Structure 1
């Protein structure tokens, strides 16, 4: 049995005033305790999260933070700190202890990253910064950092109608994203049903189109939705894809992106003949799936170095810049080459 990575009920917390710092620290400490962290490791998490949240409050534009169990490893904690500016022109310089800047995460960035078990930063002047970091207890394994995703519900909803699951087996990664029709509880019911079906059959169904067909049949008593299934063979550098409805799928590299083709319809209700397409994934390429809660008008060439970052940092950056508040949103990133 391989590894299953599932979407969570991601709760993004605004970090725009000092009261958020303590709340974020307490959330991180409680989660680390539930993950089995000892006192010293919990202390590392508390200090790093407090410092990152403080910098968002002091220096960020629209700073938000996500604290959650690491999607690839249930003994680890993941933290994403995201803002819309002012960004940093020289991240390496900002990582040096004692360096001070008015840019987001400039003060204390070196200390923050030193306390984390792993981290990556992507920053563009004028557009903002995304810091992704994870924490593991002393002598615990580290996550593979091959695949991740993030979700965000529409407006003030507490439940996201989009969901994803990623199955990893050997050199193969298979991802499913479902955008439940509409939003709220009924949309979430459809997407969670798709996730259950996928998780049960990801290892036994031979192809993405077979999985898609099974999900299509299994959503007939729900509101339905748009569904995409992508399977990446890391050793061969190949991707197989089958989609139904309005889920965007891309093979992304530093010089641009290639779209993958879905057929029109609504999973669970109406569909033309389902089809599967084969693609080549270039070295250092990334497979990205996202719901229509994100605009397709993002240009990877305007994000220098982003395709080399952690999948969670890629997903969070695209959610920040292409996401719309008028719909639930979900982004999945698979990084087959390491």
Structure 2
């Protein structure tokens, strides 16, 4: 049975620049909880988390963004449960003393004070990556059912070009028999037509994902996308027991494995899936537990690096995606970033 890991796109993005934006972020969180039919108590907790996170951005950084998406995990009874993840991203002063910043009432120019304490109490998960003078990325999750666990931790940011309502990028990720299959599609151009191509890719791949190898999936997508604008496409399958990643990519989707701070790039071929595909080739690369797999569309600059962020490679993948988005987004196209790590119990 397949367990989906994440929504195909970031569902709510709210820029925080003034006090009215805090209320807008709260409404966005409440709207997403309503669409997911979240229990009322969890929806109320989410509203408080979003409000405090947005308020902290405004007070201590002046500007930033709140991003919300649906996440999936397994409950203690083995059932798939949903959660809502919040990323609060800013490029402000950061925090030099995290314990003090988490303490209620400790509010200074460099401390988020009572807000972080409230977020910690109201969320089921809270993780923060911050560096002095480089800003803060905060991740909080409220689950619809307590006790959810994520063995395959993932981070996703998939947002449209400013001014566009539809995102031409889309992501699909799922796990079956502890193998993970990941896909990013970048529809040609941006806007509605690009989104239609990526939606078609998600629909097709989600139906046959674990039945074929990545290169064969790309070929099937090529036939299925011929009536669309076409897309760049990358598909990776991680088999942790065989210790390998099988990858096939066409077009401008970048992919790399990070092990011990060392990046190994995965090769994509030129072309457009659905229109101009010369060949789909599959490459196998070594994989080990605690490694990162990072895929992204060309909305992100290619020469990003984690070297200037001590400890980030060990942080939750959502924090890694948030930092990459904040500091390396081109701002001229849709952007999708997918970061995955398999956690192994001690």
TM-score, normalised relative to structure 1 = 0.92
SS, match of residue 69 in structure 1:
strand
CA offset digits 1:184-217 (Å, max 9, x no partner): 1111111111111110110211x11111111122
Instruction: Find the counterpart in structure 2 of residue 78 from structure 1.
Output: 85
SS, match of residue 338 in structure 2:
strand
State how far apart, in whole Å, the 1-side matches of 2:27 and 2:189 are: 34
CA offset digits 1:109-168 (Å, max 9, x no partner): 132122210121111222211111110246463454522321111121011100110121
SS, match of residue 108 in structure 1:
helix
Instruction: Find the counterpart in structure 1 of residue 240 from structure 2.
Output: 234
CA drift at 1:36: 4.6
Instruction: Find the counterpart in structure 2 of residue 108 from structure 1.
Output: 115
CA drift at 1:34: 4.7
Aligned pair partner of 1:290 in 296, 317, 342: 296
SS, match of residue 313 in structure 2:
helix
TM-score, normalised relative to structure 2 = 0.90
SS, match of residue 243 in structure 1:
strand
Using the TM superposition, name which of 250-259 and 68-77 deviates more.
68-77
Q: How many matched pairs?
A: 337
State how far apart, in whole Å, the 2-side matches of 1:104 and 1:251 are: 35
Instruction: Find the counterpart in structure 1 of residue 67 from structure 2.
Output: 66
State how far apart, in whole Å, the 1-side matches of 2:110 and 2:28 are: 26
Gaps of 5+ in 1: none
Instruction: Find the counterpart in structure 2 of residue 56 from structure 1.
Output: 57
Contact kept in structure 2, 1:87 and 1:128, CA below 8 Å: yes
Aligned pair partner of 2:306 in 297, 300, 307: 300
Q: Would you say 1:186 and 2:187 are equivalent positions? A: no
State how far apart, in whole Å, the 1-side matches of 2:281 and 2:82 are: 38
Q: Would you say 1:310 and 2:311 are equivalent positions? A: no
Sort the Cα spacing of 1:33 and 1:93 in 2 relative to 1 into closer, same or farther, 3 A: same
CA drift at 1:70: 2.5
Aligned pair partner of 2:133 in 108, 114, 126: 126
